[in-house]
Chains A and B, each alone.
Chain A
């Protein structure tokens, strides 16, 4: 659906996108992730046909976004960052206008607008003036606009910006439902969101693609070790040393204490599960064990770690 080949975009002498190549298959839900200023918005503007690439080739649905711009734009529903709307119009007026601009007329237009109103939960506010709506509703109006005409590709720039947790969950459900029969490319700085919605994550940093994989694989590849946490009662000075002497354990430390129970954090090699042996060593020493579990490798930790590494490099 999207093919980007050696895309470079400069503003004056400042290079925002430096040789980006990526592909998104039909039906995929892909998250574009990166710190502020990484080039997420610029990438989306180029894909939507608003900005041309300085060099490189960008195709959407097989159409070049520069030379076949109108054909490409017909296939895209684009939600720009910060959701620009006309505040003086009513919701229904705005969506009707946008539907007509996208070439929907007559009964197709009425059905199309009706459909997105229902999909985005806007039926109750259809007669309200956009300028008087809350941020959450305005966001939904923008999303409804991008959905008009059932475009094959949805490009959503920070769709959950400024929403409260409930609204974010609704949006997440909606995007997941849309993902069933649309290709979706969304950007976000909320990692949990990307982890929850997307099949694949593309991480951009300073204009480069630094990773492109499922969130789980990215986390796995980045974290060189696993973490097991345990709560043990016994002599403080012996516990950590005894566990650390086990094979594959790299490090073991006490990170807390609660009425005689020591909370341990055990780091071990990536591919082994040391929990059974930790339990065995505790029991064989005659100590007590009340909790033992593998920490879920956080995508968020992996991401933060990665950005920190990249900044250092």
Chain B
């Protein structure tokens, strides 16, 4: 446990020591803010609730954020050889994977959490907004956290498969985009395929939760998906031991 904490702390400081982190954070907050204001201006009565608007604005940029955060997690350590020094001290593969994952997740949470502030800043500066349902807000951000958790685990797994950050970034971006476009795809295909795809549609889940419709099925999906991706990551890391 102590070694996990040591590595987690290293990951966090690693994220916050790089200039790309601050750049990503600033650009992310700027574009989501702009997207939110734009959707707000297009939202005519009766329109969607505020929580849906913020969900749309944040989700739109999520694949890029997750790609930037996860692409270097292992690819960079493999390229520079530090993975070798990391795995020759007495730590287990599980500790390494969990620390990397926790570090990336903490960073994404720190980046995304301030977007909730838009909902409170805009009325304060005198912008007319529809009323806000706090329950839906909580539900929306909870499912967003689960989806992001799943996508980050996927990104981590992909980063482990290559030593090239560019390959890692492109593959990760494609993989992360898939759940977010599944809603549109599911509407375009006939049953029963559409039912299956709808179950995997992150965009649909997010909008449903943001409307306050909490459902346990997506929660099971993302929690088990995350565990599977992390389990596979540990096995891949151990696979250098298989001959």
Contacts and interface: CB of A to CB of B under 8 A. Distances in A.
Which of B2, B90, B240 gathers the greatest number of chain A CB atoms within 10 Å? B90
Interface in B220-243: 240-243
Interface string B80-104: 1111111111111000000000000
Contacts of B240: 50-51
B80 A84 contact: yes
B10 to A, nearest CB: 6
Nearest to A47: B88
Which of B83, B240, B241 gathers the greatest number of chain A CB atoms within 10 Å? B241
B90 A85 contact: no
A82 interface: yes
Contact of A80 (B2, B6, B81, B243): B81
Contacts of B10: 97
Interface residues of A, number: 32
A101 B14 contact: no
B18 to A, nearest CB: 7
Contacts of B87: 49-50
A54 B80 contact: no
A145 B84 CA distance: 13
B18 A101 contact: no
Contact of A101 (B6, B81, B242): B6
A78 B88 contact: yes
Nearest to B14: A88
A82 B85 CA distance: 11
Interface of A: 9-10, 45, 48-54, 66, 70, 73-74, 76, 78, 80-82, 84-86, 88-89, 97-98, 100-103, 105, 145
Counting from the closest, the 6 A-B pairs by CB-CB distance are A84-B81, A84-B82, A100-B6, A48-B88, A52-B241, A54-B243
12 contacts: A45-B84, A49-B88, A50-B84, A73-B88, A80-B84, A80-B88, A97-B10, A98-B85, A100-B3, A101-B89, A102-B90, A103-B90
